[in-house]
């Protein structure tokens, strides 16, 4: 009897707490990702608890339309710290949204895309990016200069195959697919195996049909450093180019992916977080072209301030870099700009701060102006023009 | 008649064994200081893990075994998920790894930068992570999957309490 009572008591206590925490975890899907339409409409895709919605603003983020659902029913969204729903606007004004869910308790993901052809009034029912059901996470979508939709993600199909054959397989594979409209994607290809399995990707284009992906790779000896792959054409990934030898040996999940920008002069720019033997903290490096080696990494911040979540944007001749720091009380978004192709950078400035939880800082540009896009728990969503900063 | 005392019994049981039984203690702003204070002078190993970290889940049963092998190991587990997790899953995962009786905490604040900063300003959140704390407060950090031989050696080198 005593045991039974004890069991019941535990059940009651545990049950209430678990229900409370379950709700908290779901509420924590907490991201907002922007894209500008050519007419200056700001589109924002938000992961809210267990659904994905799109809102729009015609006054640069001061007010927003009522949310339009992308997910037709509640879904178990991927709430990993480097995961987010994404949105892209194609040249025809169509909207493409991608997002991922957890399909089981082992954090296997399933990535989806949906499209709107009616200026965001409605979205097509989300369709998986790929037919394979093993696991896809950290999907990213971008429109190439010719208007085609490119998606890349971390895919675990080859892990499952290796395990079935009794072979080890560190990490995941870098997978990609193309689509003409973003509603449905063509066949999936694997660009390369054994990338780090839990970091966001950076995507840019070296030209029409030539995606470039920056990612955390697993090098010999479980070294998780960054690399870039430039496609020779739409279906031919070029050689892996290492961004930096940080020597971060880790058999774990950093949940810190890189950011990539390619300037109009063809130069490459990458910012990333590392905790390697060779260097620790947030770093930036540039390469003159698609074929040249990356120059020496520049430390962006001191490591004692938890510098993280870098985001790079090339807008015309200017390069912008933002990242997040923590000073012991407040999380701050710091900003640097370069007007000479990434050789020289302005002094870092704080452009926004908050004293509670916040999303990653993102950059978005329209009509020659660059904006910080940042969602925080206390202040809500903010679109902050960077050029107006003192 | 016997049944009528059930709610009272349940309530008292819940309040008596609430902290232990209901799962991990909530790790919030200020918790690190409290944790350190409650273990002051006592060599302690703090292991940070998370439900979303594959290597952590592989590593946990090894800690479970070490706890059984080494009665001199004072182990504290902190689930440092960047987003608060279901307590029942944290508890179930620890129980499955043989760690049901170890002191356990779980991040409950989404402002994880602040929690990490209080623990170690230089910690950017990568998991797993193990911190061995001497009786005099000196810390040794083992980033990534811990080499448990190193933990055993550290335990061996601690002064044994007088019997």
Q: In this predicted model, what pLDDT tens digit does every residue of A193-236 receive, in sequence order? A: 999 998 999 999 999 999 999 999 999 999 999 999 999 999 99
Please, which residues 47-66 of chain B have a Cβ atom closer than 8 Å to chain A? 52-56
CB contact under 8 A, B124 and A326: no
CB contact under 8 A, B145 and A30: no
Query: Looking at residue A250, what is its pLDDT?
Result: 83
State residue B74 phi and psi, 5-degree precision.
-100, 105
CB-based contact, B43 to chain A, within 8 Å = no
Task: Indicate the pLDDT class of residue A91, thresholds 50, 70 and 90.
Answer: very high
Residue % of chain A over a pLDDT of 90: 84
Residues 6 or more apart whose CB falls under 8 angstroms from that of B2 comprise none
Asked if A258 and A246 touch (Cβ cutoff 8 Å), the reply is no
Asked if A137 and A80 touch (Cβ cutoff 8 Å), the reply is yes
Q: What value of ipTM does the predicted structure carry?
A: 0.79
CB contact under 8 A, B22 and A17: yes
Q: What is the mean pLDDT of residues A332-352?
A: 97
Closest by CA position to A284, among listed A303, A260, A262: A260
Of B91, B110, B144, the CB nearest to A357: B110
> In this model, does residue A155 exceed pLDDT 70?
yes
User: What's the N-to-C CA distance of chain A in angstroms?
Assistant: 72
Q: How many CB atoms lie within 10 A of CB A261?
A: 24
CB contact under 8 A, A253 and B10: no
CB contact under 8 A, B88 and A14: yes
Asked if A240 and A225 touch (Cβ cutoff 8 Å), the reply is no
CB contact under 8 A, B110 and A22: no
> In this model, does residue A283 exceed pLDDT 60?
yes
CB contact under 8 A, A12 and B14: yes
> In this model, does residue A22 exceed pLDDT 70?
no
Q: How many whole angstroms separate alpha carbon A193 and alpha carbon A274? A: 21
Q: How many whole angstroms separate alpha carbon B44 and alpha carbon B133? A: 5
DSSP element (H, E) containing B45? strand B44-49
Residues of B in Cβ contact (< 8 Å) with A305? 121
Q: What is the mean pLDDT of residues A100-120?
A: 94
CB contact under 8 A, B13 and A326: no
Residues 6 or more apart whose CB falls under 8 angstroms from that of B161 comprise none
Q: What is the mean pLDDT of residues A363-378?
A: 96
Task: Indicate the pLDDT class of residue A107, thresholds 50, 70 and 90.
Answer: confident
> In this model, does residue A86 exceed pLDDT 90?
yes
Q: How many whole angstroms separate alpha carbon B99 and alpha carbon B59? A: 12
Residue % of chain A over a pLDDT of 70: 92
Residues 6 or more apart whose CB falls under 8 angstroms from that of A241 comprise A227, A228, A229, A230, A287, A293, A294
The β-bridge partners of A249 are A223
State residue B145 phi and psi, 5-degree precision.
-65, 125
Residues of A in Cβ contact (< 8 Å) with B87? 14, 17-18, 21
CB-based contact, B147 to chain A, within 8 Å = no
Q: How many whole angstroms separate alpha carbon A55 and alpha carbon B125? A: 32
Which among B114, B120, B130, B146 is the top mutation candidate for probing chain A, defined by the most A β-carbons within 10 Å of its own β-carbon? B114
> In this model, does residue A4 exceed pLDDT 50?
no
Q: B99: which 2 tokens?
A: 């760690």
Query: Looking at residue B143, what is its pLDDT?
Result: 87
Asked if A325 and B121 touch (Cβ cutoff 8 Å), the reply is no
Closest by CA position to A138, among listed A225, A256, A30: A256
> In this model, does residue A257 exceed pLDDT 70?
yes
Query: Looking at residue B13, what is its pLDDT?
Result: 42
Query: Looking at residue A38, what is its pLDDT?
Result: 95
Residues of A in Cβ contact (< 8 Å) with B10? 5, 8-9, 12
Distances (CA, A) of A25 to A48, A79, A330, A368: 11, 8, 23, 39
Asked if A165 and A151 touch (Cβ cutoff 8 Å), the reply is no
Asked if B55 and A54 touch (Cβ cutoff 8 Å), the reply is no
Q: What is the mean pLDDT of residues A79-87?
A: 92
Query: Looking at residue A1, what is its pLDDT?
Result: 42
| ∠ CA A164-A161-A225, rounded to 5° | 120
> In this model, does residue A9 exceed pLDDT 50?
no
Residues 6 or more apart whose CB falls under 8 angstroms from that of A149 comprise A88, A90, A96, A141, A142, A143, A178, A179, A180, A181, A182, A185
Asked if B140 and B114 touch (Cβ cutoff 8 Å), the reply is no
> In this model, does residue A367 exceed pLDDT 50?
yes
Residues 6 or more apart whose CB falls under 8 angstroms from that of B32 comprise B115, B118, B119
DSSP-derived letter for residue B120 is: -
Residue of B nearest to A19 (CA): B86
Q: State which residues of chain B have pLDDT below 70.
A: 1-22, 161-163
CB contact under 8 A, A252 and B108: no
Question: What integer best gives the mean pLDDT of chain A?
Answer: 91
Which among A79, A249, A252 is the top mutation candidate for probing chain B, defined by the most B β-carbons within 10 Å of its own β-carbon? A252
Which has the higher per-residue pLDDT, A106 or A90?
A: A90
Q: In this predicted model, what pLDDT tens digit does every residue of A271-281 receive, in sequence order? A: 999 999 999 99
Query: Looking at residue B81, what is its pLDDT?
Result: 86
Residues 6 or more apart whose CB falls under 8 angstroms from that of A45 comprise A32, A33, A35, A52, A53, A54, A70, A85, A86, A87, A97, A99
Residues of B in Cβ contact (< 8 Å) with A275? 124, 126, 143
Helix (H, G, I), strand (E, B) or coil at A160: helix
Task: Indicate the pLDDT class of residue A29, thresholds 50, 70 and 90.
Answer: low
Residues of B in Cβ contact (< 8 Å) with A303? 122, 124
Q: In this predicted model, what pLDDT tens digit does every residue of B6-51 receive, in sequence order? A: 444 444 444 444 344 568 999 999 999 999 999 999 999 999 999 8
Query: Looking at residue A193, what is its pLDDT?
Result: 98
Which among A4, A9, A301 is the top mutation candidate for probing chain B, defined by the most B β-carbons within 10 Å of its own β-carbon? A9
CB contact under 8 A, A18 and B83: no
Interface size A-B, in CB pairs within 8 Å, comes to 127
Q: What is the mean pLDDT of residues A243-256?
A: 88
CB contact under 8 A, A13 and B116: no
């Amino acid at each position: 009897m005593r045991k039974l009572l004890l069991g019941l008591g535990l059940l009651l206590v545990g049950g209430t707490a678990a229900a409370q925490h379950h709700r908290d975890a779901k509420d924590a899907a907490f991201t907002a990702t922007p894209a500008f339409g050519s007419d200056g409409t700001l589109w924002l895709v938000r992961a809210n608890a267990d659904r994905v919605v799109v809102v729009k603003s015609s006054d640069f983020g001061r007010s927003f339309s009522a949310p339009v659902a992308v997910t037709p029913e509640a879904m178990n969204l991927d709430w990993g710290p480097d995961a987010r729903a994404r949105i892209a606007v194609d040249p025809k004004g169509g909207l493409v949204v991608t997002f991922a869910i957890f399909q089981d308790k082992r954090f296997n993901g399933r990535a989806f895309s949906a499209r709107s052809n009616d200026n965001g009034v409605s979205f097509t029912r989300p369709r998986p990016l790929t037919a394979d059901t093993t696991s896809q996470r950290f999907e990213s979508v971008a429109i190439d200069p010719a208007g085609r939709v490119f998606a890349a993600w971390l895919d675990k199909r080859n892990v499952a195959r290796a395990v079935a054959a009794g072979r080890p397989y560190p990490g995941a594979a870098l997978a990609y697919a193309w689509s003409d409209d973003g509603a449905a994607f063509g066949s999936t290809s694997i660009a390369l195996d054994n990338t780090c399995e839990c970091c966001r990707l950076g995507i840019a284009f070296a030209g029409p049909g030539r995606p470039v992906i920056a990612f955390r790779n697993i090098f010999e000896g479980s070294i998780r450093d960054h690399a870039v792959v430039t496609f020779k054409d739409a279906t031919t990934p070029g050689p892996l180019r290492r961004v930096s030898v940080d020597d971060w040996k880790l058999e774990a999940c950093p949940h810190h992916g890189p950011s990539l920008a390619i300037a109009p002069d063809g130069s490459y720019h990458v910012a990333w977080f590392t905790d390697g033997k060779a260097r620790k903290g947030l770093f930036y490096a540039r390469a003159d072209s698609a074929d040249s080696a990356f120059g020496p990494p520049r430390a962006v911040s001191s490591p004692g301030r938890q510098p993280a979540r870098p985001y790079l944007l090339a807008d015309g001749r200017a390069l912008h870099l933002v990242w997040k720091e923590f000073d012991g009380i407040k999380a701050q978004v710091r900003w640097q700009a370069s007007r000479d192709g990434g050789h020289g950078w302005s002094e870092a400035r704080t452009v926004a701060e908050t004293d509670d939880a916040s999303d990653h800082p993102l950059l978005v540009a329209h009509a020659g102006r660059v904006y910080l896009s940042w969602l925080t728990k206390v202040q809500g969503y903010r679109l902050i023009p960077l050029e107006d900063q003192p | 008649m016997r049944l009528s005392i059930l709610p009272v019994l349940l309530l008292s049981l819940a309040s008596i064994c609430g902290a232990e039984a209901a799962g991990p203690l909530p790790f919030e702003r200020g918790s690190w200081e409290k944790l350190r204070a409650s273990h002051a002078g006592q060599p302690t190993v703090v292991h940070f893990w998370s439900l979303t970290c594959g290597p952590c889940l592989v590593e946990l049963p090894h800690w479970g075994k070490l706890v059984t092998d080494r009665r001199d190991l004072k182990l504290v587990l902190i689930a440092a998920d960047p987003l608060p997790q279901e307590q029942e899953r944290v508890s179930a995962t620890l129980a499955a790894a043989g760690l049901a009786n170890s002191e356990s905490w779980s991040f409950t604040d989404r402002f994880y930068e602040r929690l990490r900063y209080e623990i170690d300003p230089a910690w950017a959140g990568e998991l797993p992570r193990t911190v061995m704390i001497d009786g005099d407060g000196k810390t040794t950090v083992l980033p990534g999957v811990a080499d448990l031989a190193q933990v055993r050696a550290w335990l061996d080198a601690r002064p044994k309490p007088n019997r």
